[in-house]
Amino acid sequence: RKRHVFACSDFPGGLYVTGTTLGSRPGYVPAVAWATVLRSGMKHYVECCATAVKATRDLASFIDGHEHLRLMAEADVTTVAFTSNTIDIYLFLKEMKARGFLFNALQFPPGLHLGLTMEHAEPAVMAKLQHSINEVVELVLAEQGGPLKRVEHKAMMYGSSQAVPDRSIVDDVLKGYVDIFYSNSEQAASKHHK
């Protein structure tokens, strides 16, 4: 089954593995966008997009002005990607998740990204997000004992897998995970007892 699995351990978006030909490109995203246009009208859809883009630029500006965070790219549409040279970004991710904000981890270099929606554009949500970012940065700094000169990212699988120089080893582990995921318990048990 491993020959049917695609794995990419050096994708900047993180460890990627899929057992299907479509990968992670679900068809529901464009279907929902089209349904929204049909239900709400093009004018409303464009207004919502503009609101989400403005929220993205506001967050990007906030991060760009932050002492301990650094933008990884221009935030042109609705995604903000950032990293840090002074804090463990994966520890930051863990603490933000505990506060209800779900960022996606990146690797090479270690970082995070957030796709903003209309919900993020709500003034109270944006204020809470920015407050939480400041709060979590201070928490991570305190836990680390201050800004780090050389950040070692150890908080998650992304950080530990980046330390493996032979990427084929990580690819094999990812393929093994999918193999076990799609195996029934009897197959998995007999495989491990041989």
The pLDDT profile of the chain, 194 residues, written as one tens digit per residue, is: 566 777 777 777 777 777 766 665 667 778 988 999 999 999 999 999 999 999 999 999 999 999 999 999 999 899 999 999 999 999 999 999 999 999 998 887 889 999 999 999 999 999 999 999 999 999 999 998 888 776 665 544 444 555 566 767 777 877 777 777 667 666 555 555 55
* Residue 57 confidence (pLDDT): 97
* Residue 162 confidence (pLDDT): 56
- The structure tokens listed for 21 are 């030909």
Residue 8, strand partner residues = 16
What distance lies between CA 22 and its chain's CA centroid?
20
* Residue 145 confidence (pLDDT): 87
* Residue 169 confidence (pLDDT): 78
User: How big is the CA angle at 65 (ends 142 and 95), to the nearest 5 degrees?
Assistant: 35
* Residue 174 confidence (pLDDT): 75
pTM of structure: 0.73
* Residue 160 confidence (pLDDT): 52
Count of CB atoms within 10 A of residue 148's CB?
15
Provide the 8-state DSSP code for 103: P
d(CA 175, CA 122): 41
- The structure tokens listed for 193 are 């007892």
* Residue 158 confidence (pLDDT): 44
d(CA 8, CA 168): 9
